[in-house]
């Protein structure tokens, strides 16, 4: 018999193993598995989720063994399903449906006007499940990467900039500015995400200004991963993107990686011109159309 309960800190290593087993099974069946996903050390996002929204973090347990888990968060009136994974041998038993219901009910009493998630585009079983909950495919999302040397070479010399850029190391001071830009670009606040990027991932935060006014921001991890990148106007995206790529190259990582929405033509064109190649196709689903993704790069399927 499968039982459902809130996740605890002691569950984190097992949750990481469930994720690794489930995602490797999906990727292997569709030819996307290059090497096994490491389960140790667990992603730091699990502990952060427990700290911030423990009531929305659920596990499914059978005979004392965690066989599935899920987590969701609320941003304004947007409900986002961050993670839902079940061990391959336990799929097809309605565990996924029950977990969705559990984490959705965690927000009972809250105003929810939209539901969204990002999932592998090549997994029809999951896409069909999410569509039953009213979340429809809206656009492709692509994970892409390029060698840092190639990006640096193709960026060339710095051109005269319309934007000014500053490094922000003060989370408390920067947080209201970032939140304002996020609301303008996508219609919902960033919540604890920026705290995670600042304090846990130790990302470099770039704030873009145009004639002294905050125009956008981006994060760059030490490993060359960029995102999210958010600007107030699509006309500023290209320049902010190039500045972010320069910061990623300066991190001296082996490669630069990003996650871009298919409807962001500027990201696609510039990415290809700077040597990026698509590694992994995903799909963004939501119950209602949302946001202006010409202004935006995602960070990850689970954190946007």
Give the pLDDT confidence of 24-40 residue by residue, as tens digits: 999 999 999 999 999 99
Share of the chain above pLDDT 90, in %: 86
Secondary structure letter of residue 8 according to DSSP: -
pLDDT at 161: 76
Number of residues written out for the chain = 304
**Cβ contacts of 191 within 8 Å, gap of 6 or more:** 73, 74, 75
Query: Before 228, cis peptide (omega within 30)?
Result: yes
Residue 231 DSSP class? E
Q: What is the pLDDT of residues 174-200, one digit of tens each?
A: 899 899 998 888 888 888 999 999 999
Q: What is the pLDDT of residue 5?
A: 98
Other Cβ atoms less than 10 A from the Cβ of 167: the count is 10
CB atoms within 10 A of CB 18: 24
What rounded mean pLDDT belongs to the chain?
94
d(CA 141, CA 261): 4
For 286-301, the pLDDT digits (tens) are 999 987 799 999 999 9
Cα–Cα distance measured from residue 58 to residue 49, given in angstroms and rounded to the nearest whole number = 11
Look at residues 122, 121, 37, 107 and name the one whose alpha carbon lies nearest to residue 76: 107
Instruction: Map residue 292 onto helix, strand or coil.
Output: coil
- Predicted confidence (pLDDT) at residue 42 exceeds the cutoff of 80: yes
Q: What is the pLDDT of residue 187?
A: 85
pLDDT in tens, 71-112: 999 999 999 999 999 999 999 999 999 999 999 999 999 999
pTM: 0.94
Identify the band that residue 142 occupies on the pLDDT scale cut at 50, 70 and 90: very high
Ordered alpha helix ranges (H), 144-255: 148-155, 171-186, 193-195, 237-250
Q: What is the mean pLDDT of residues 108-124?
A: 95
Does the pLDDT of residue 260 top 80, yes or no? Answer: yes
pLDDT at 80: 97
| Contact assessment for residue 269 and residue 260, using Cβ atoms and an 8 Å cutoff | no
pLDDT at 160: 67
Tell me the mean pLDDT in the region 59-81.
96
pLDDT confidence bin for 150, thresholds 50/70/90:
very high
* Plot region of 18 (φ>0 → left; ψ -120 to 50 → alpha; else → beta): alpha
> Which domains does the chain show, CATH number per domain?
2-112 (3.40.630.30), 142-297 (3.40.630.90)
Residues 210-223: what's their mean pLDDT? 94
Helix (H, G, I), strand (E, B) or coil at 302: coil
Q: How far is the CA of 88 from the CAs of 36, 39, 174, 215, in angstroms?
A: 15, 16, 42, 45
């Amino acid at each position: 018999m499968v039982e459902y309960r809130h996740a605890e800190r002691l569950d984190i290593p097992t949750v990481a193993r469930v994720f690794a087993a489930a995602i490797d099974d999906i990727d292997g069946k569709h030819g996307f598995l290059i090497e096994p996903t490491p389960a140790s050390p667990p992603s730091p996002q699990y502990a952060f989720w427990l700290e911030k929204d423990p009531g929305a973090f659920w596990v499914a347990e059978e005979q004392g063994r965690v066989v599935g888990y899920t987590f969701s968060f609320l941003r304004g009136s947007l409900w986002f399903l961050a993670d839902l994974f079940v061990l391959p041998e336990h799929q097809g038993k309605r565990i996924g449906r029950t977990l969705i219901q559990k984490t959705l009910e965690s927000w009972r009493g809250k105003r929810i006007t939209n539901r969204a998630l990002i999932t592998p585009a090549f997994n029809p079983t999951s896409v069909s499940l999410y569509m039953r909950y009213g979340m429809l495919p809206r656009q492709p999302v692509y994970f892409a990467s390029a060698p840092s040397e190639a990006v640096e070479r193709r960026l060339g010399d710095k051109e005269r900039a319309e934007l000014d850029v500053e490094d922000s190391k003060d989370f408390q001071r920067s947080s209201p500015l970032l939140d304002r830009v996020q609301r303008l670009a996508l219609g919902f606040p960033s919540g604890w995400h920026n705290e995670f990027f600042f304090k846990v991932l130790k990302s470099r935060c770039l704030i873009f200004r145009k004639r002294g006014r905050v125009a956008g921001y981006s994060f760059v991890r030490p490993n060359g991963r960029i995102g999210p990148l958010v600007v107030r106007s699509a006309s500023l995206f290209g320049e902010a993107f190039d500045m972010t790529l320069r910061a990623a190259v300066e991190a001296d990582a082996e490669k630069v990686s990003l996650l871009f929405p298919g409807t962001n033509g500027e990201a696609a064109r510039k990415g290809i011109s700077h040597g990026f190649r698509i590694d992994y196709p995903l799909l963004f689903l939501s119950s209602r159309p949302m946001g202006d993704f010409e202004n935006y790069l995602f960070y990850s399927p689970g954190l946007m």
